[in-house]
């Protein structure tokens, strides 16, 4: 676990990103009541009748409600599996972003109940933005860059907040093996029911929930940005032996729609391992690939 106030935090984060792409942070500044409000309102929403939840479904766009089996994360990999995921989700994009290009042009869809969900989620989203900014500053320091290096690429970021509910059942793989798409993910996993696994050195390792910490992992765009130096690791969600219901909340930090992502070459004579790409179309292609058939 890495304390963000630790003077060695940037160096430790850099080592973790080079080895597994996963680490846990403490001293993050997110009040526990903010987390609890997001947890409780998400659970209340998922406990509603399906007809109520489907009223805020937006098919083919990344925001709103998605029912069980609407997504197949394994399909985002060329060699992935087609099996749909055994989960339902509620998804929120940048709440204050007006109409614009790409994901920014989609409406934000809010359920009418529970009425506490909207303020709870707006508060949580704001805290996640601040935490992501702090992490990106440490990322830049770990890479030997100015701490403000990533700011020009994220001023109108298209980050998504997602509550995930994995119903009780015997399905062994609840979310297929995949890598995240963007810069970084901030995950609060279920403290009581595990299931998150990461592929390390040819085997699946279980990631435990740790107190009030957040699990952080980098995504494909940060992998490309660092010229492959940092790992965007495969991970999945499996059921525990009892098949218990599981929950998590994930904040997927993404750059601006039109941000150009090209390898940062910090080694003399280094060569780019990836061509430059535009963040928005890359993210949209990944989202569309995950739509279950």
Which single residue is written with the structure tokens 């963000």? 4
Give CA–CA dist 100/234, Å, rounded: 32
Contact between 187 and 248 under an 8 Å Cβ cutoff? The reply is yes
What is the distance in angstroms between the CA of the first residue and the CA of the last residue of the chain? 39
122-143 as b/e, with b when 16 or more CB fall inside 10 Å? Answer: bbbbebbbebbebbbbbbbbbb
Query: Active-site residue among 43, 174, 246, 271?
Result: 246
Catalytic-residue membership of 174: no
Integer Cα distance of 238 and 246 in angstroms: 10
233 by DSSP, 3-state: which? coil
Instruction: Report DSSP letters for 108-130, one per residue.
Output: P---SSSTTHHHHHHHHHHHHHH
The tokens 């910090």 sit on which residue? 266
| Residue 90 CB neighbour total at 10 angstroms | 26
Tokens of 71: 């997504």
- Residue 130: CB partners within 8 Å, gap ≥ 6? 29
Could you tell me the maximum CA-CA distance found in the chain, to the nearest angstrom? Answer: 59
Provide CB contacts within 8 A for 142, sequence distance 6+. Answer: 10, 11, 13, 14, 17
Q: Which residues are catalytic?
A: 246
């Amino acid at each position: 676990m890495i304390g963000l106030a630790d003077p060695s935090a940037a160096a430790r984060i850099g080592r973790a990103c080079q080895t597994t792409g996963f680490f846990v942070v403490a001293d993050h500044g997110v009040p526990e009541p903010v987390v609890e409000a997001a947890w409780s309102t998400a659970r209340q929403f998922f406990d509603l009748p399906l007809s109520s939840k489907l009223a805020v479904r937006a098919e083919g766009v990344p925001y709103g409600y998605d029912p069980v089996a609407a997504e197949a994360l394994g399909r985002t990999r060329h060699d992935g599996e087609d099996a749909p995921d055994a989960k339902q989700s509620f998804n929120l994009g940048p709440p204050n972003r007006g109409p614009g290009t790409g994901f920014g042009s989609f409406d934000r869809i809010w359920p009418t109940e529970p009425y506490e969900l909207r303020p709870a989620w707006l508060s949580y989203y704001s805290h996640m933005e601040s935490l992501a900014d702090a992490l990106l500053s440490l990322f830049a320091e770990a890479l030997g860059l100015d701490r403000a290096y990533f700011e020009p690429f994220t001023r109108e970021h298209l980050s998504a907040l997602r509550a995930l509910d994995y119903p009780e059942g015997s399905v062994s793989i609840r979310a297929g093996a995949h890598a995240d798409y963007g810069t970084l993910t901030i995950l609060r996993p279920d403290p009581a029911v595990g299931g998150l696994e990461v592929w390390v050195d040819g085997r699946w390792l279980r990631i435990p929930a740790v107190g009030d910490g957040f699990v952080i992992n980098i995504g494909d765009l940060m992998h490309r940005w660092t010229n492959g130096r940092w790992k965007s690791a495969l991970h999945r969600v499996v059921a525990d032996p009892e098949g218990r219901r599981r929950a998590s909340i994930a904040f997927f930090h993404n750059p601006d729609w039109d941000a150009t992502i090209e390898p940062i070459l910090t080694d003399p004579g280094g060569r780019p391992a990836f061509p430059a790409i535009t963040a928005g179309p890359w993210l949209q292609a990944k989202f569309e690939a995950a739509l279950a058939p």
